[in-house]
Structure 1
Amino acid sequence: MLDESQKPCCLPLKEEFQRSKFSLHHDDPRVFCRSQWQRGDRNILWLLYRWIWAAFFAGGVIGSLVNSYNGGTWFIYLTDWGFTLCFYACTYGAVVATIYFIKPSYFAPGSVALKIYWLSHYTTVVIAMMITLVFWAALYPSMPEMGAELYNLWAHAFNSIFMIFDCFMVAFPTRIMHFVYPFAAGITYGIFSLIYFWSGGTDFMGNRYIYFILDWERPGLAIGTVFGCVALVSCFCLCVFGFYRLRLSIYNCCGRKQVEIPETRASTETVQTA
């Protein structure tokens, strides 16, 4: 098997576009429970890191719900969906790390729990980046007074910063073909906004739209927004893969060699017989 550092720079990207890369199976469950940078199987600093992130986002979600519930309209905003995803993914990761710390042999290859963690983490990072860009590029200019609000920064800036940072800390790989999961999340929200409009729903100020760029009374604008977000998701999926490759490059430059373990048994057999 080739060491990651010995592969041509274009080969990893080419290898991503295979049907097997849609799979969420991975033969080494440890990569979902450990940091790329830790030594040994168990590391208390990694465990603390995971729970600090979980507590950080938990505080944001709970505080926002208390201050901005607004008769339940808190639940209609993509910002709050995305921030809740950050809380969910980080808490899930903390639970996984805790279980592994207590009993390293607990997770088996192909564990459903780890598959859920893998797809939720990837989806969360991509959606967080999209929320950040769309807010600051399209929404913030019409509401500049919100720029300095703590929750606004928390949910539209810190979300992406911290999730991207986490991409450089985890040990599991990123797969471009997992783009289907953030796509599904984005399309789900688009359909939800349309159903909400059809059912007569309003935002907390009584407007017939959730976001003015997603106003279904102007279907051209709304559809354009949906397709624009789909394009952004595509770009951010590539970005997250780039973060993963950069993480491996930094790891290799630090004198440690990363040998990637194939996700599927089929791919393992291919490597062994090559």
Structure 2
Amino acid sequence: MQVPEMDDKNKESCCLPLKEEFQRSKFSLHHEDPGVFCRSQWQKGERNLIWVLYRWILAAFFAAGVIGSMMQDFNGGRWFIFLTDWGFTLCLFTCTYGAVIATIYYFNPSYFSAGDRSLKIYWISHYTTSVLSMLITTVFWAALSNTMPEIAGELYNLWCHAFNSICMVFDCFMVAYPNRLMHFIYPFSVVLIFLVHSLIYYWAGGTDMDGNRFIYFALDWARPGLAIGFVCASLFLICCFSFVAFGIYRLRISMYNCCGKKQDETPALAPTQKQSSLTV
């Protein structure tokens, strides 16, 4: 079965000028084709078992990472104070959620309707997780890893500071849903909430695992100049990585269209009158 109108929609999306993204309507989470949240960009047909298995493998990968990390570094609940672990948990939630809706769609493609709330949640979570993963990886290796060299090479550190963004960026090339620049407000909001949380945690006398009065060295509110600089840099980077995520989407569509054009170069045999009458 051919996926309805996917080629036309993807070609249209690829050719839209960038200025079209800066419209109020682009904040919307409504999409007419619910299947784009349940399929891969690259699958043939409307249902694909390999795609469902891939989604569950990715969910299991992050489940193993999150559970192992919590067992190793839970430390009286301090595991939950770090943005890294917020992002790591979001990876688990997003991939598990995606596996569930892909499975439902595989067995019942008509289950979801246009604008389904559960698909809106997935759209927000996948986009937010992807952008946040890129931010976490970049900030850790650029600004924080030199303050904690003893853990930089540990398995769980690599899992949540490197494998997270590698897997999510790869997944951005695999999914079929569109990307909206105006959706930057969702990862932006998560980071803003975390920064406010870090300030409240400092005022409440909270400490990190080593007893320091900060969550991250660069986010030490006892030195407000450094902390505010880190806040501004983080919010700026979120906007930058939102553009990166949008660029990945445009690149994915371009790659898909290029592959489609190559397939179209092979002429198809015209159906006979009898074959045409049997075609649905």
Please report the TM-score for the alignment, with normalisation by the length of structure 1: 0.90
Structure 1 stretch displaced more, 107-116 or 217-226? 217-226
Map 1:160-199 onto structure 2 (within 5 A).
160-199=165-204
User: Does residue 47 of the first structure (1) align with residue 52 of the second (2)?
Assistant: yes
User: Can you list the C-alpha shifts for 1:178-203, whole angstroms capped at 9, x where unaligned?
Assistant: 01000100000001001111111111
- Which structure has the greater CA radius of gyration? 2
Map 1:149-228 onto structure 2 (within 5 A).
149-228=154-233
Residues 14, 254 of structure 2: 8 Å contact kept: no
Question: Which among 110, 119, 130 is matched to residue 115 of structure 2?
Answer: 110
How far off is 1:4 after superposition? Answer: 5.0
How far off is 1:146 after superposition? Answer: 1.9
Please report the TM-score for the alignment, with normalisation by the length of structure 2: 0.88
Question: What's the counterpart of residue 139 of structure 1?
Answer: 144
Structure 2, unmatched stretches of 5+, are 263-280
How far off is 1:97 after superposition? Answer: 0.3
Question: Which among 20, 32, 57 is matched to residue 15 of structure 1?
Answer: 20
Question: What's the counterpart of residue 30 of structure 1?
Answer: 35
Question: What's the counterpart of residue 262 of structure 1?
Answer: none
Question: What's the counterpart of residue 100 of structure 2?
Answer: 95
Question: What's the counterpart of residue 264 of structure 1?
Answer: none
Query: How many residues are aligned here?
Result: 256
Decide whether aligned partners of structure 1 residues 175 and 199 sit closer, same or farther in structure 2, where only a CA change above 3 A counts: same
Structure 1, unmatched stretches of 5+, are 258-274
Question: In angstroms, what is the RMSD of aligned CA positions?
Answer: 1.7
User: Does residue 233 of the first structure (1) align with residue 224 of the second (2)?
Assistant: no
Counterpart CA distance in 1 for 2:129 and 2:14 is 30
Specify the code of the residue in structure 1 equivalent to 2:144.
Answer: L
Percentage identity across paired residues of the two chains: 66
The structure whose RCO (Cα within 8 Å, separation 6+) is larger is 1
Q: Secondary structure at the match of 2:178?
A: coil
Specify the code of the residue in structure 1 equivalent to 2:129.
Answer: T
Specify the code of the residue in structure 1 equivalent to 2:49.
Answer: I
Residues 151, 157 of structure 2: 8 Å contact kept: yes
Decide whether aligned partners of structure 1 residues 8 and 61 sit closer, same or farther in structure 2, where only a CA change above 3 A counts: closer
Residues 62, 92 of structure 2: 8 Å contact kept: yes
User: Does residue 253 of the first structure (1) align with residue 258 of the second (2)?
Assistant: yes
Runs of 4+ in 1 over 6 A off after TM superposition: none
Specify the code of the residue in structure 2 equivalent to 1:106.
Answer: Y
How far off is 1:102 after superposition? Answer: 1.4
